[in-house]
Structure 1
Amino acid sequence: MAIATINPTTGEICQRFKALTPAEIDAKLAKAQGAFQAYRRTSFSQRRQWLENAAAILERDASKFAEIITTEMGKTHKSAIAEAEKSALVCRYYAEHGEQFLANEYTETQATESYVCYQPLGILLAVMPWNFPFWQVFRFAAPALMAGNVAVLKHASNVPQCALAVEAILEAAGFPEGVFQTLLIGAAQVEQVIKDPRVKAATLTGSEPAGASLASLAGQEIKPTLLELGGSDPFVVFPSADLDEAVAVGTVARTMNNGQSCIAAKRFILHEAIAAEFLEKLHLKFASLKIGNPMEPETDIGPLATEGILQDISRQVDQAVAAGAKVLLGGRPLDRAGHFYPPTILTEIPPGAKILQEELFAPVAMVFTVKDLDQAIALANDIPFGLGASAWTNDPAEQKRFIRDLDAGAVFINGMVKSDPRLPFGGTKRSGYGRELGLAGIRTFVNAKTVWLK
């Protein structure tokens, strides 16, 4: 895929970028390695100040950054502003808590003194996706830089201006030159980076094939990785739930970011006692959403990020319909410029349909009806993914069952699955491994060194 800004609202190619040569990549890694030797010795208080500066820049210029985000990948401008502000939040969180999270931990042994200290690894490679082009990077960068690591970013090829903007923000915040660098490279060039002995670890948020490829390359080099991959999150609703709230939250959970979120509510699993009422209300909510120019404040749904994604969802829905699924709403691309796909509801999807095992990256909701708790949990878990799950019930016994038995990295009861700097984030099964955010996030890429003194 060419490195370029292509406005998904119009299909217009705004700017093309030339990929780095192997020699240029090597030079950037040499710069990163040189920067690490000094940066690892900077104080927590200095790193804290730089992160706070970055947060201030993100908040001050949120609207400007949002325009870049929306132009490159199509999310609504108002949601892009919220993304920039959330990126500031994660910077402030690790600025405040990073030193405490990495403090020495003492244990009594036969030694005079024994403890664990946490030290940076060195250069980290981050391979990041286009759907949250600021947030995904900052949720990696804030803990990584606070821990004393340095980073190189290979961002998605359709958001190069976002990638360069993140680098510029961190430079303007005061981080030394070479501590965070954007590499404008294609997917095939990742191998050179991960195989370089100066690069010590890698993290990837993206597709299963991309994650498997990076993990394989890193494994050959005996380097640790963190993967956050796809999801097909269940949104389970039972009779004791507040249906109006569940419908309102479910609509946002499925259609936010134009439906392009790994933790979106993709499968609505409804108890038969409330299924008809819930579906009627969900249909009305979906039908009321305004599709249009994402720069306009009244727009709810903008375009999909690329033409390829539009083609993928069209194929997936067409295959489901051919297998016997019913389209309650939407189901066809809009006949207009840009990559627009309307809010869509699919029902009566037959067992064995291919779509049941796939991730849908568009505002398409699959709806199912179940008779009881056992059936709901079995259906929720019957996928290769295990990222998040949302269950709606006010019955304490049902809540405990969902928490215990839903096979996912996060279970939200009566709420929308979302990432929070204060809580670890990650999945199970083919949704990846490792955890970002919270205490776990800053300890992912450090050496937990055992110290024993006599």
Structure 2
Amino acid sequence: MSIQTVNPFNNKVVQSFEEMSEVTLDNLVAQSAEAFESWKKTSYEHRTEMLIKVSKLMRERKAELAKTITLEMGKLIAQAEAEIDLSADIFDYYAEHGPTFLADKYLNPKFGKAYYKQSPLGTILGVEPWNFPFYQVARFAAPNLMIGNTVLVKHASMVPQCAIAIEKLFIDAGVPVGVYTNLLISGKRASALVSDTRIKGVSLTGSEEAGSSIAEQAGKYIKKSVLELGGSDAYIVLEDADIDEAVKWGIIGRINNNGECCVAAKRFIVVQEIADEFLEKFTQQMKNLVLGDPMNPKTQLGPLSSEDAAVHIADQVKKAIDAGAKLLLGGTRTNCEGAFMDPTILTDIKPENPVYYQELFGPVVSYYVVKDENEAIKLANDSSYGLGCSIFSNNIDRAKNIANHIDAGMVTINHPTWTTAELPFGGTKNSGYGRELSELGIQEFVNRKLVRISEFSDPM
């Protein structure tokens, strides 16, 4: 099978790569398992040095790496550069805090003394998505390498040049061969790889279908897994919110990464008292977005990641309208070359509408009007997803109380769901399980080994 870079701005094939053979794949898995035997014995100081070198190279090559991101999946160039900075921040974060997070934790048993040691598990497989091709890898690789695990990364087939560039960062930083390994293979082969006894855990960010396949294999072979499977985040605006701020952040929250973001604001839930004013201002700003070449700094909305993605979301919009949804803006493919979709707003979406429970991955807004905060909470929770949620209100105590009733892994107040190295990232329900980033993210693939020192007087 050929793995291709296709520029979504013009849908032209840029470069093709051949998928790895079974012999090559087996050799790379063996190499990673062998590298673990020495990597696990290195000091935290040595691992810290390696992570810092990777971060430094990433920052030095930011312009080049950002262009590769934009070329392969259409991200606006300024956002691609910001992604490189965020990825480097994650490596720096675990380099600085990893040793403290992984230090022995002393306990207070009734008899004797005890502590638990957080030890590495071995080789961990990461199956990563295309929408944040450096950041997603960073949040998987940085903590695991700090732990002392080695990693195999099966990146999305549509960003092969990003995948190769990431591996080169590790090679050029002097990280030993086998500690970080890029696998040019299909998703189906990645699922099958979970059964390999040399692999001790698996982390996936992707679709529900891919997550289900990986989780099935991980469960069958009794291996730890972490899944982040997308979301349909609610964006709640209460009557006491600053409407202009809510509109500004709502636009950013919806079209960040051209709308192809797991934690994008997707379901806008606005209390009826201010619903008309919010919608008027929000619609005007959506209508004024500048579409075009993602390499152009003036562009505000670029293409979707692929022609298939654009066709899919246009089909979702059509089916929503056919099922009774009202189209307020857009609704069609942009009349230009490339994988574009017009900024779109849908309302009057009932539970029987096929898109009501679907994730809309692109610049399409579902707009709902509710009577009060109780209805807002009920609607926000009426989803199979549970990744993030935003609440806009000038009454912080009120917003915090609502947050307590939201079924999501992350709730932000007066800001769209966002990510930084020090904040845990993950969801609940069909959005997956486990956490990445922060101290929680470094504790997923460790053996918490209890060591107890008994005294002769212990009545054991």
Q: Counterparts in 2 of 1:212-291, with a 5 A limit?
A: 212-291=212-291
The equivalent of 1:97 in structure 2 is 97
Query: Corresponding residue for 1:194?
Result: 194
Structure 2 CA distance for aligned equivalents of residues 400 and 299 of structure 1: 36
TM-score (norm. length: structure 1): 0.98
Equivalence map 1:79-98=2 (5 Å): 79-98=79-98
Find the aligned partners of 2:395 and 2:299 in 1 and give their Cα distance. Answer: 37
- What does 1:33-432 align with in structure 2 at a 5 Å threshold? 33-110=33-110, 112-432=112-432
Aligned-CA RMSD value: 1.1
Q: Any conservation in 2 of the 1:373–1:398 contact (CA below 8 Å)?
A: no
Q: Distance in 1 between matches of 2:413 and 2:67?
A: 34
Q: Distance in 1 between matches of 2:253 and 2:192?
A: 38
Measured after TM superposition, the shift of residue 2 of structure 1 is 4.4
Q: Distance in 2 between matches of 1:431 and 1:168?
A: 32
Using structure 2 for the length normalisation, give the TM-score.
0.97
Partner of 2:458: none
Task: Note if contact 1:334-1:340 (Cα within 8 Å) is conserved in structure 2.
Answer: yes
Cα distance between partner residues in 2 of 1:31 and 1:109: 41
Does the CA contact (< 8 Å) of 1:2 and 1:186 recur in 2?
no
Query: Is the contact made by 1:236 and 1:270 (CA closer than 8 Å) also made in structure 2?
Result: yes
Q: Would you say the 8 A contact 1:111–1:452 is kept in 2?
A: no
Distance 1:278 1:320 in 2: 23
Distance (whole Å) between structure 2 residues aligned to residue 379 and residue 191 of structure 1: 35
Call closer, same or farther: CA 1:351–1:191 in 2, change over 3 Å: closer
Q: Which residue of 1 aligns with 2:457?
A: none
> How many pairs does the alignment contain?
454
Contact in 1 for aligned 2:351/2:357 (Cα 8 Å): no
Deviation at 1:174?
2.0
Query: What's the offset of the Cα at 1:193?
Result: 1.8
Question: Identity of paired residues, percent?
Answer: 45
| 2:45 counterpart letter in structure 1 | S
Q: Counterparts of 2:396 and 2:20 in 1: how far apart (Å)? A: 56
For 1:287 and 1:53, the matched residues in 2 are separated by 44
Distance 1:109 1:273 in 2: 57
Partner of 1:435: 435
- The letter for the 2-side match of 1:6 is V
Rounded to whole Å, the distance in 2 between the matches of 1:77 and 1:395 is: 37
Aligned-partner residue type, residue 84 of structure 2: A
Cα deviation, residue 112, structure 1: 4.0
Amino acid at match of 1:82: A
Unaligned runs of 5+ in 2: 455-460
Structure 1 position 10, deviation (Å) = 0.7
Q: CA deviation at 1:40?
A: 0.4
User: Residue 367 and residue 303 in structure 1: after superposition, are their counterparts in 2 closer, same or farther (change >3 A)?
Assistant: same
Quick one: structure 1 residues 113 and 230, their matched pair in 2 at CA, closer, same or farther if it must change by over 3 Å? same
8 Å CA contact retained: 2:86, 2:420: no
